[in-house]
Structure 1
Amino acid sequence: MGTVIGELLPLAVAVAISPIPVIAVILMLLAPEATATGAGFCVGWVAGIVAATVLFTVLTAVLDLGGAGGSSTVVAWVKLALGVLLLALSVRQWRSRPGPGEEPVTPGWMRAVDRFTPPKAFGLGFALAAVNPKNLAMCVSAGATIGTASSTAGASAVAVAVFTLVAAATVAGPVLGYAVAADRLRGALDRLKVWLSANNAAVMSVLLLVIGAVLLGKGIGGLA
């Protein structure tokens, strides 16, 4: 179990420090219906992480990809492909960062966040966790890791819970903090939103580069 958790932690941290969901939850907490939309987004984010991770954990176990021979080779190829994908996304993110003096482009859905209802916030949180290619790649790798290493349903459930707890921390943390001390957090959240908006591309590029290199190395190691 310790080995599995050790492999999951870098993937979970990569999901946790993704700037886009953090910016989204901050925008919701600065909106008029902060408590309801923030909670809806947080629940959707957690549900998306759990759904994607459990799906690929079950697929890996059912297809017996953790077995010897060809099955373990399939897992190695999956990690290799994910590593290459993340490296390509890293290059794309780096090239998309704003130049000196340029304002970062704000997606349309971010400008509409203050008009979101809790169900819409839930859907956005779920989509960013389970459909967004960057986070989905982390959940696929986590699911493959759990499915190949965990021998029982209980062990798999614990691994998924640990992965989700770490991955969701940066979204759940502000929501819980706002519920306790809203007035004291508004200024800090606003400053963090501005910084993340300006540096989103650079942060994601470095993050994807590191995790992509790790997965690429694991994939090559599994094929050796």
Structure 2
Amino acid sequence: MGAVLGDVLGLAAGVAVSPLPIIAIIIVLATPRGRFNGLLFAAGWLLGLSALGGVMLVIGSQDSATDHGQPADWVGALKLALGVALVLLAVRQWRHRPADVSQAQLPQWMAAIDRFTPVKIFLLALLLSAGNLKNAPLTIAAGASISASGLPVGHQIAALAIFVVVASIGLLTPLGVFLIMGERARNMLGNWKDWAARHNTAVMAVLFFVFGLKLLGDGIDILSS
């Protein structure tokens, strides 16, 4: 199990460093029912990652390894495709980064979060976890790696749970600070939000590129074995 954790924890760290979801939960925490909405958002996030990873475990359990114990070719092809996609997204993000970070703008939908119903907040968290252009490929790759490990089902589920927890640290940190400090945390969280907003594009470009190269390398290694 140690080997598969070594493979997926890096991917989990990539998911954890997600500026937009962190900004979103900070905005959610500033709503009138911030505590409830924040917990609801975190629940949606955790469910989204768990569901996407679980789907990959089910798919991978059908044909995850060769007779020699190596991951099946489809796992390598999947990682190769995801790696190419992330590298291309990195190039696109970098080319569209603002010349002046002080002029960086958040997506328009973020301005409406304070008017979201609890259902919309939950669905937003699901989308930002399982439908995010960075998080979804990394979670899919992690699920494929776990399913290809040959571990017993119980160990695979435990590995996925560890992935989800580590991948959620970036999101759960603002929630934890708010739950502990209450209103005193608003200025601190506001500063975190401003920094993330200014550097979101550059951070995402670098993460896309780094993890895209990692998945490319993993895919090539599997297909050439």
TM-score w.r.t. the length of structure 1 is 0.94
Aligned to 1:23: 23
Which residues of structure 2 form unaligned runs of 5+?
Answer: none
| CA distance in structure 2 between the aligned counterparts of 1:103 and 1:138, rounded to whole angstroms | 29
C-alpha deviation, 1:102, in angstroms? 6.0
Q: Is the 8 A contact 2:71 2:222 kept in 1?
A: no
Residue 154 of structure 1 pairs with residue 151 of structure 2: no
CA distance in 2, matches of 1:153, 1:71: 16
Aligned to 2:104: 104
Task: Report deviation, 1:71.
Answer: 6.7
Distance 2:67 2:215 in 1: 20
**Local SS of the residue matching 1:99:** coil
Structure 2 partner of 1:204: 204
In structure 2, what residue type is equivalent to 1:66? A
1:140-219 equivalent positions in 2, closer than 5 A: 140-219=140-219
Report the more deviating stretch, 139-148 or 94-103: 94-103
Look up the match of 2:66. Answer: 67
Q: Quote the offset at 1:72 in angstroms.
A: 1.6
For residues 26-65 of structure 1, the aligned pairs below 5 Å read: 26-62=26-62, 64-65=63-64
Listed one character per residue, the Cα deviations across residues 187-208 of structure 1 (whole Å, up to 9, x for unaligned) are: 1100110111010000001111
In 2: Cα distance, 1:121 partner to 1:107 partner: 16
For structure 1, which runs of at least 5 residues remain unmatched after alignment?
Answer: none
The count of residues paired between Structure 1 and Structure 2 equals 223
Per mean C-alpha deviation after superposition, the further-off stretch among 122-131 and 69-78 is 69-78
Q: TM-score, normalised by structure 2?
A: 0.94
* Greater Cα offset, 159-168 or 97-106: 97-106
Question: Which residue number corresponds to residue 8 of structure 1?
Answer: 8
Which residue identity does 1:153 align to in structure 2?
V
Q: Distance in 2 between matches of 1:97 and 1:31?
A: 29
Could you tell me how far 1:138 is from its partner in structure 2? 0.7
